[in-house]
């Protein structure tokens, strides 16, 4: 059977065909999930949830040849939602998100390398950065996937890049008597 035939059978409820069709895209699926989540467990969970939604929604896919795009769109939605869920579950992330102000250094914030900074971006920015820089997609590809005009994707990307700190550095307050020392909080991150 050809790719589209598997997809076509999957839409009709053929589980084996669905598994075979997903098999063809599984590396790409995992690569996107991993690039966004940056850890194996979350990436696998995202893939699992995606397959679940693919099965539930399979009848909404009219054209079997668009199976890959359609599935990746679902994955993207899952990734964006997963982040929300995580924030509820992990109050620690909030500490990492704390940005220090007015000449005060936060060791947690200092530790933010570029990967961590990307993770702190609003989800849609984080997703376009992931697709563009980690998955080498073109603006056109991303626009199609996210069903947004190319201009919007460019704007998001620019905003994301501006938000990221220069050279992944953070400022520290320097040595001063009222400056913070010690680093006991919010220092762990995955």
Binding to other proteins, residues 8-47 (CB under 8 A) = 15, 18-19, 22-23, 26-27, 30-31, 34-35, 38, 40, 44-45, 47
> At its nearest, how many Å lie between other proteins and the CB of residue 100?
5
Sites for other proteins among residues 120-179 (CB under 8 A): 120-124, 129, 133-134, 158, 161-162, 164, 166-179
**Which is closer to other proteins, CB of 23 or CB of 150?**
23
Q: Which of 68, 99, 103 is nearest to 165 (CA)?
A: 99
Residue 10 CB neighbour total at 10 angstroms:
23
**Which is closer to other proteins, CB of 20 or CB of 69?**
20
Q: Which two tokens mark 83?
A: 């982040």
3-class SS of residue 11: helix
Please give the C-alpha separations between residue 168 and each of 3, 39, 111, 129, 173, in angstroms, as whole numbers.
43, 20, 9, 15, 16
Report d(CA 56, CA 160) in Å as an integer: 33
Sites for other proteins among residues 55-114 (CB under 8 A): 55-56, 80-81, 83-84, 87, 91-92, 94-95, 97-107, 110-114
């Amino acid at each position: 059977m050809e790719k589209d035939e598997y997809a076509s059978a999957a839409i009709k409820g053929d589980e084996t065909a669905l598994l075979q069709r997903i098999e063809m895209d599984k590396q790409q699926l995992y690569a996107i999930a991993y690039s966004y989540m940056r850890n194996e467990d979350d990436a696998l969970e995202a893939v699992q949830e995606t397959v679940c939604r693919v099965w539930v929604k399979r009848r909404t896919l009219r054209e079997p040849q668009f199976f890959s795009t359609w599935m990746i769109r679902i994955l993207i939605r899952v990734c964006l939602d997963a982040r929300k869920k995580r924030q509820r579950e992990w109050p620690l992330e909030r500490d990492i998100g704390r940005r220090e102000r007015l000449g005060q250094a936060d060791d947690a914030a200092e530790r933010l390398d570029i990967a961590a900074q990307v993770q702190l971006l609003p989800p849609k920015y984080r997703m376009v950065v992931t697709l563009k820089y980690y998955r080498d997609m073109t603006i056109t590809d991303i626009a199609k996937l996210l069903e947004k005009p190319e201009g919007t994707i460019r704007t998001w990307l620019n905003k994301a890049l501006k938000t990221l700190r220069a050279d992944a550095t953070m400022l520290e307050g320097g040595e001063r008597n009222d400056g913070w020392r010690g680093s006991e909080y919010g220092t762990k991150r995955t």
